[in-house]
Structure 1
């Protein structure tokens, strides 16, 4: 069983044996992030710097041991790993790859970071660690045909309902006015005609009442 002193010596030897390797990752400015859509994101750690002419960003990292790479999503997104978290990069010819699927849930700015950790042998003891912050922009998800049609139908239905409500209000007002006019018309026809004072009969022109004697003679 190794003593604490020998453990410290082994760690110091492992740390001094590390050398500079290369971290290559996708340029988030060129990736097309859309809300609700998965986008692959790749990271490669090599034992030496290699310019493949693909325009991807590069970062110097310590290798020569087991390397762990993690992608942390800090915004409203899900980062799903599709690779082993720890892979060996022991010499200048080694090359290991990591892939994640990033799914943003909302449009807007998205921040995440890459953490590269160099471990001592197969333990969780960290010899070196670096973090690279990244920022991207997420576009809104394109509207599908059915979504557009549903939007049209919904807008049209709202318009039809509003128009029907307005017509019903106008029709109700027209019915009230017509009913009031009919009522006024009936009331005017039922009233007795007014008497003209100039055409009223003169009481002096009426014949005198007959007496009973005159009535009897006429009957004989």
Structure 2
């Protein structure tokens, strides 16, 4: 806690205490609205997720994915987000201290939250009201702590990985062409080919389709010469009906005249 000296303030401890007491009496109850850490959906190695904190002089209804609580306002407010576990990082995107002096005031804080590996993450939110622009603390709200799970990244066989690989391939193809005009239809056709190669069962479907196309135009019942030979075994021979020749007579020999 910072104290004033005779050179820069009230000049004595009694005056200092009176000013601090008056500043605390001017505080009023505001609303703290912050992102529910469980709704972040953290994934190891994925893009950062936004964590937001709003402090308002008047209350409003919390939206889905938000949590609310009472907080002291009417002073300069400092908000900190402490993150630990699973290689988590909380990068502030706004000033740590902002003024919420009146009931119509509103201040917003933002962070980018990301994690490097799967596991448990602890997120603690601290709200502090300061005396004027000094480091003297008027009142500090107990930390609001949440523990959430960081999911493992998707496997290489997932759709997310396919799309990522496909995009990298298309980007590389455009770059390698050196800025030349690229046909959109050609890129789309190539993308479809890559996806069909990755999808299971496509080869079998293509084989079945090819076989059906080959069968189109063949007449029902038509058989190849090879198929006919395989069924008959050997060419047929014409047989002479038994009994068409009389005993002792050969074909082509003239009949002897009867006496």
Q: Comparing both structures, which one devotes a greater share of its residues to helix?
A: 1
Work out which of the residue numbers 132, 146, 157 in structure 2 matches 1:134: 146
> How many residues are treated as equivalent by the alignment?
148
Mapped contact 2:62–2:68 kept (Cα < 8 A): no
1:144-168: CA deviation from partner (whole Å, max 9, x where unpaired): 34999xxxxxxxxxxxxxxxxxxxx
Q: Does 1:46 align with 2:56?
A: yes
- Partners of 1:134 and 1:53 in 2: how far apart? 18
Structure 1 unaligned regions, length at least 5? 149-220
Counterparts in 2 of 1:196-211, with a 5 A limit? none
Superposition TM-score, scaled by structure 2 size: 0.54
Q: Which has the larger Rg?
A: 1
Superposition TM-score, scaled by structure 1 size: 0.63
Mapped contact 2:39–2:65 kept (Cα < 8 A): no
Q: 1:7 to 1:33 in 2, by over 3 A?
A: same
Structure 2 unaligned regions, length at least 5? 1-8, 156-160, 166-259
Q: How well do the aligned residues superpose, as a CA RMSD in angstroms?
A: 1.9
2:43 aligns to what?
Answer: 34
- Partners of 1:92 and 1:145 in 2: how far apart? 51
1:39-84: CA deviation from partner (whole Å, max 9, x where unpaired): 1111111112211544521011111000000000021201100000
Q: Comparing both structures, which one devotes a greater share of its residues to strand?
A: 1
2:113 aligns to what?
Answer: 102
Cα drift, residue 24 of structure 1: 0.4
Work out which of the residue numbers 2, 5, 10 in structure 2 matches 1:2: 10
